Amino acid sequence: MPRSPCKRSFWLWGVLLWLSMPSAGDVPATPQPKCTDFQNANLLRGTNLKVQYLLFVPSDPSCGQLLEESSDIQNSGFNATLRTKLIIHGFRALGTKPSWIDGFIRALLRAADANVIAVDWVYGSTGVYYSAVDNVVKLSLEISRFLNKLLELGVSESSIHIIGVSLGAHVGGMVGQFYKGQLGRITGLDPAGPEYTRASLEERLDPGDALFVEAIHTDTDNLGIRIPVGHVDYFVNGGQDQPGCPLFIHAGLVEQGGVKIEPLPKEVRVYLRTTSKAPYCVHHSVVEFYLQNPRKKDTSIEISFVSSNATSSVKITIARQQLQGKGIIAHPNPPCQINQVKFKLQASSQVWRRDTTTIVGKFCTAPLPVNDNKNTVCLPEPVNLQESKSVVHDWKISCV
């Protein structure tokens, strides 16, 4: 007799159940973490904090694990034995996720074996700038409560590195105050200027907020703060508009930055230059020109390094009755790849009285940092210059 539909149904379900049962050698699949992204707000839904803490780990740098309770932290990929880097974004006028955050997180995870936690306070940073400023204290308290959970898990204060962008830099400074300056490091990327240039030390980022405080300034002519706020302040390309970048766009962070100085200075200003294309780094060299005889007027000389693919120049000025002029030249290639050095004596402002005098001098250069005189190299022959005429000397240094 044919099976009834009811019996046939039970038989099929039994087969499916048997097929789905794990065999003796099967290992249960590891549950995948749930990924959470940044929030989006708008002018009508801003001002409230609604803070999220998103953990990113090297095994899955695009998946943010939401950490709300202590149990979330313990059950996540958080490793209390590693350093912890906390990223705090700044003012978000339109209430959108920072466009740079994903790439920044990936770069940090590539550069360091660390826990990377992004602080999402898009809601509290949206709308009017001054409303976001009003939220700085509340956000700092929220972050401090979160860090207390990490400390309870065995994380040391000195292993915590806060990276604050714009307004987030001052948030990091205030958090550091709550821990009496015992957090390991705070990095301010273009610390915000409006409302903070004349603020007290308690209100803004300053050297007392962590064991080491550094700031990278790349927008001081617009929204970035112009005054030094750390143990070391880097003014990239003078701290203003960056080559190769649209205006109002903030630069990034070199992971292995920082200075080992004992004891730490209260304030050091560092000036460096970059190129307009990746990898952006340049080789800095000090150049010096020594006159054989002093002159009765200032002497300006343009010095250029010429390699196969680039030319870099700097103008140095030797004050009247002085013999030495010095400057810093930045070149994309190392010194051993420089083929020529070009000199040009700048014409005086009195164009109707052209100076035909020939000046004679000695040229020397050394790569930075200059630790001793062993790295200083000079042209073997003297340099003879006349106004507005270029003089080229071949240059060859062996690569170490």
Which residues are registered as beta bridge partners of 314? 303
Task: State which residues of the chain have pLDDT below 70.
Answer: 1-33, 43-47, 244-251, 253-267, 349-354, 370-373, 400
Strand 268-272 relative to strand 338-345: parallel, antiparallel, unpaired? Answer: unpaired
The range of the structural domain enclosing residue 168 comes to 52-272
Q: Are 61 and 89 in the same domain?
A: yes
**What pLDDT was estimated at residue 365?**
92
Q: What is the CATH number of the domain that holds 93?
A: 3.40.50.1820
Q: Are 385 and 344 in the same domain?
A: yes
Domain count, the chain: 2
Q: Considering the domain boundaries, does residue 31 fall inside one?
A: no
Q: What is the pTM of this model?
A: 0.69
Q: Are 178 and 262 in the same domain?
A: yes
Q: Considering the domain boundaries, does residue 351 fall inside one?
A: yes
Q: Are 256 and 332 in the same domain?
A: no
Q: Considering the domain boundaries, does residue 23 fall inside one?
A: no
pLDDT digits (tens, 9 = 90+) for 333-353: 888 899 999 999 988 766 556
Which of the listed residues 218, 247, 272 is the one where a domain comes to its end?
Answer: 272
Q: Are 156 and 65 in the same domain?
A: yes
**What pLDDT was estimated at residue 398?**
80
**What pLDDT was estimated at residue 279?**
72
Which of the listed residues 272, 292, 307 is the one where a domain comes to its end?
Answer: 272
Q: Are 208 and 146 in the same domain?
A: yes
**What pLDDT was estimated at residue 22?**
47
Cβ count near 366 (within 10 Å): 19
Q: Are 106 and 238 in the same domain?
A: yes
**What pLDDT was estimated at residue 7?**
39
Q: Are 288 and 254 in the same domain?
A: no
Q: Are 77 and 101 in the same domain?
A: yes
**What pLDDT was estimated at residue 252?**
73
Q: Which three-class secondary structure string do you get for the chain?
A: CCCCHHHHHHHHHHHHHHHHCCCCCCCCCCCCCCCCCCCCCCCCCCCCCCCEEEEEECCEEEEEEECCCHHHHHCCCCCCCCEEEEEECCCCCCCCCCCCHHHHHHHHHHHCCEEEEEEECCHHHCCCHHHHHHCHHHHHHHHHHHHHHHHHCCCCHHHEEEEEECHHHHHHHHHHHHCCCCCCEEEEECCECCCCCCCCCCCCCCHHHCCEEEEEECCCCCCECCCCCCCEEEEEHHHCCCCCCCCCCCCCCCCCCCCCCCCCCCCEEEEECCCCCCCCCCEEEEEEEEECCCCCCCEEEEEEEEECCCEEEEEEEECCCCCEEEEEEEECCCHHHEEEEEEEECCCCCCCCCCCCCEEEEEEEEECCCCCHHHCEECCCCEEECECCEEEEECCCCCC
Strand 160-165 relative to strand 52-57: parallel, antiparallel, unpaired? Answer: unpaired
Which of the listed residues 221, 238, 272 is the one where a domain comes to its end?
Answer: 272
Q: Are 223 and 296 in the same domain?
A: no
Q: Are 265 and 301 in the same domain?
A: no
Nearest Cα to 256, choosing from 335, 187, 190? 187
Q: Considering the domain boundaries, does residue 248 fall inside one?
A: yes
Q: Considering the domain boundaries, does residue 120 fall inside one?
A: yes
Q: What is the CATH number of the domain that holds 379?
A: 2.60.60.20
pLDDT digits (tens, 9 = 90+) for 275-311: 777 777 888 888 999 999 999 889 999 999 999 988 9
CA 92, 103, 231, 211 torsion-angle sign: positive
Q: Considering the domain boundaries, does residue 176 fall inside one?
A: yes
Q: Are 248 and 381 in the same domain?
A: no
